[in-house]
């Protein structure tokens, strides 16, 4: 099943190393490349030792940011006003690297934090080598997070919805800044402000959401929470959000709702990864649930309509397929 999942992931890859969020032929827009989705999709390749492919993905992401470096410079020099179009864009044409200009929840600070986190981690492992241009971009991303004051900046979050201060976004930025602190100039205060804000919010995701699937990112891959915070997040997710075919993102989610929140398959694989070290029995339980959430093609779709066995058209979801690989590798 791991080999099949890797095969499915490779079918989502463009020649330059970028991943479509789902099938390249899907008509929902998921044929495009999101920064965050690419980072999560590459985790499965990394877990199975496909180093060259991982490097290609991060090289392509850095190339995109270099293409839009002028925009990063603008925010650093003039952080006000915080208009949405001035933020680092969330998704791009996977061939040209151009921004997708249509209105979207593009203020996604967690994507910037995620990229810094993995660049720092892969560089420390000698998997990825930064050239001078890369180092310049990394430093500018640090300065960008300082300019937008990420620790209390209302962004669209992982789910690209209403602007709020999100714990998952703050945590991603803290993890990212820590990870690149040996290869960039990262003021201690820049990290401390994020940690203080994160601790003030947790175990909530935001003022309007207590339990949220996005909070699992603070446990994996970021490992940025205490044991107490981790246990509270897991308790909330399992008691309030876990369903038969997946994990709902939060109570009251309207995306692809049939009157009940949609069930996201990646949540099952995500929980399996977390319990891989914590509880072997629960790890096995969530791996099995993830397997039963696969369709007849062995794909993990984005989601199933609430309390049904019908999934939406975004399949396979690269993010979900990749997390399954990490959970089972």
pLDDT in tens, 60-98: 999 999 999 999 999 999 999 989 999 999 999 999 999
Place 4 in a pLDDT band, splitting at 50, 70 and 90: very high
Q: Is the pLDDT of residue 18 over 90?
A: yes
Query: Among candidates 39, 240, 26, 299, which has minimal Cα distance to 158?
Result: 39
Has residue 102 got a pLDDT over 90?
Answer: no
Which pLDDT value is given to residue 148?
Answer: 98
Listed in sequence order, the residues at least 6 apart from 1 whose beta carbon sits closer than 8 Å to its beta carbon are: 291, 298, 324, 328
Instruction: Tell me which residue of 301, 310, 305 sits closest to 269, measured CA to CA.
Output: 301
DSSP 36-93: HHHHHHHHHHHHTT-HHHHHHHHHHHHHHHHHTHHHHHHHHH---S--GGGSPPSEE-
Q: Quick one: pLDDT band at residue 103, thresholds 50, 70, 90?
A: confident
Specify the pLDDT at position 162.
94
- What's the pLDDT at 184? 98
Model confidence at 104, pLDDT cuts 50, 70, 90, reads: confident
- pLDDT above 80 (res 198): yes
Alpha helices in the chain (DSSP H): 2-11, 35-47, 51-67, 69-77, 109-124, 132-147, 167-179, 188-201, 227-236, 266-278, 280-292, 318-328
Alpha carbon distance 89, 44 (integer Å) = 24
Q: Which CATH architecture has domain 2-328?
A: Alpha/alpha barrel (1.50)
Average pLDDT for 308-318: 98
Region 104-118: mean pLDDT is: 95
- pLDDT number for residue 13: 97
Q: Is the pLDDT of residue 101 over 90?
A: no
Task: Give me the percent of the chain exceeding a pLDDT of 90.
Answer: 97
Residues 163-185: pLDDT tens digits?
999 999 999 999 999 999 999 99
pLDDT in tens, 226-264: 999 999 999 999 999 999 999 999 999 999 999 999 999
Assign 160 to helix, strand or coil: coil
- Give the confidence band of 16 by pLDDT, cuts at 50, 70, 90: very high
Distance from the Cα of residue 283 to its chain's centroid? 21
* pTM strictly above 0.95: yes
Predicted confidence at residue 240, as pLDDT, reads 98
Give residue 7's pLDDT.
97
């Amino acid at each position: 099943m791991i080999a099949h999942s890797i095969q499915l992931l490779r079918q989502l890859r463009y020649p330059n190393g970028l991943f479509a969020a789902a099938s390249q032929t899907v008509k929902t827009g998921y044929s495009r490349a999101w920064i965050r989705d690419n980072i999560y999709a590459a985790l499965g390749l990394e877990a199975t030792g496909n180093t060259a492919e991982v490097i290609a993905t991060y090289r392509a992401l850095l190339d995109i940011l270099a293409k839009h470096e002028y925009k990063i410079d603008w925010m650093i020099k003039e952080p006000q006003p915080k208009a949405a179009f001035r933020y680092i864009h969330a998704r791009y044409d996977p061939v040209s690297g151009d921004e997708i200009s249509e209105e979207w929840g593009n203020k996604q600070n967690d994507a910037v934090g995620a990229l810094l986190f993995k660049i720092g981690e892969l560089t420390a492992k000698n998997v990825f080598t930064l050239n001078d241009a890369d180092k310049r971009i990394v430093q500018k991303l640090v300065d960008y997070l300082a300019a937008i004051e990420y620790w209390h900046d209302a962004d669209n979050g992982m789910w690209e919805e209403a602007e709020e201060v999100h714990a998952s976004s703050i945590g991603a930025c803290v993890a990212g800044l820590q990870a690149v602190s040996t290869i960039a100039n990262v003021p201690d205060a820049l990290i401390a402000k994020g940690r203080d804000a994160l601790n003030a919010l947790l175990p909530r995701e935001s003022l309007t959401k207590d339990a949220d699937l996005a909070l699992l990112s603070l446990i994996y891959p970021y490992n940025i929470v205490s044991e107490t915070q981790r246990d509270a997040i897991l308790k909330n997710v399992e008691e309030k959000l876990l369903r038969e075919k997946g994990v709902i993102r939060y109570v009251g989610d309207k995306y692809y709702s049939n009157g009940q929140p949609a069930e996201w398959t990646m949540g099952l694989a995500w929980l399996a990864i977390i319990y891989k070290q914590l509880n072997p029995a629960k790890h096995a339980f969530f791996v099995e649930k993830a397997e039963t959430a696969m369709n007849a093609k062995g794909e993990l779709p984005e989601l199933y309509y609430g309390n049904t066995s019908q999934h939406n058209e975004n399949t396979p979801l690269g993010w979900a397929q990749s997390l399954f690989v990490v959970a089972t590798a």
